[in-house]
A = this chain, B = another copy of it.
Amino acid sequence: MQARLGGSRPKGRTGETSVSPGFADHQVILGIDPSLRSTGYGVIRLAKPFPSTLAQGTIHCPREWPRSRCLARTAEVLREVIRKHRPTACAVEGLFFAQNLKTALIMGEARGACLLTAGEAGLEVYEIAARKVKQAIVGFGGAQKVAVAKMVQRILHLEKVPMADAADALALALALVQENRGLVWRAPKRI
């Protein structure tokens, strides 16, 4: 996988290269794992022999903050990350299930803040289901979070295993690259 992510373009399943039109132009990718009080983010730059990690972290918001303040804080940090590293594409976790409607709404609010921030900065935003991210990174859609984090560490040659939310965000960015290199059957959905 590292060779793939390192910039080579392998043949797709059908024997044709199937890079999304224009996607190859994206060199710096932002991954976001949205959450009201602990949004993870990670920025990678495609490079050989392996992608470099420009930034990673978690945006913590105290429990006592009103939701609007958490969203504003999340956007503030993401804007700063985008300003500094200039990503051109963004992968957000596609949430296709939730425990209940209330959870879905709150998750949706966090996603909305992230999509808005990325959209305003002109990034192309894609969503990828968590299962597909795991499949892309670990090779198994039901992989545990810690397995994803360890594989992210390995692919990116990081000194430490990244924290859970940041690892998920980095995994999203890596998965977006992999999917657009024709290694997966269906291109991520632009949102």
Residues of A near any B CB (own CB < 8 A): 66-69, 71-72, 74-76, 95-98, 101-102, 104-113, 115-116, 118-120, 123, 125, 190-191
Closest to A114 in B: B112
Contact B68–A116 (Cβ < 8 Å)? yes
Q: Tell whether A72 pairs with B116 under 8 Å between CB atoms, given A66-B125, A67-B191, A191-B67.
A: yes
C-alpha gap A111/B68 in the complex (Å)? 10
C-alpha gap A101/B103 in the complex (Å)? 9
Other-chain contact of A111, B97, B108, B120, B191 (Cβ < 8 Å):
B108
Contact B113–A105 (Cβ < 8 Å)? no
When distances are taken between beta carbons in the complex, the residues of chain B under 8 Å from A105 are 95, 98, 104-105, 107-108, 111
C-alpha gap A77/B177 in the complex (Å)? 33
Contact A98–B104 (Cβ < 8 Å)? yes
Contact A67–B115 (Cβ < 8 Å)? yes
Contact B66–A191 (Cβ < 8 Å)? yes
4 closest A-B pairs by CB: A108-B108, A112-B112, A68-B119, A109-B112
When distances are taken between beta carbons in the complex, the residues of chain B under 8 Å from A67 are 115, 119, 125, 191
Q: Besides the contacts A72-B119, A112-B112, what 15 more A-B pairs have beta carbons closer than 8 Å?
A: A66-B119, A66-B191, A67-B125, A68-B116, A68-B191, A71-B115, A96-B102, A104-B104, A104-B105, A105-B105, A105-B107, A105-B108, A112-B113, A113-B113, A113-B115
When distances are taken between beta carbons in the complex, the residues of chain B under 8 Å from A125 are 66-68
Contact B190–A66 (Cβ < 8 Å)? yes
Closest to A68 in B: B119
Ordered by A's residue number, 20 sampled pairs between the chains whose C-beta atoms are within 8 Å are: A68-B125, A69-B119, A72-B116, A75-B120, A96-B101, A96-B102, A98-B101, A98-B104, A101-B101, A104-B105, A105-B107, A105-B108, A109-B109, A109-B111, A109-B115, A111-B112, A112-B112, A112-B116, A113-B113, A113-B116
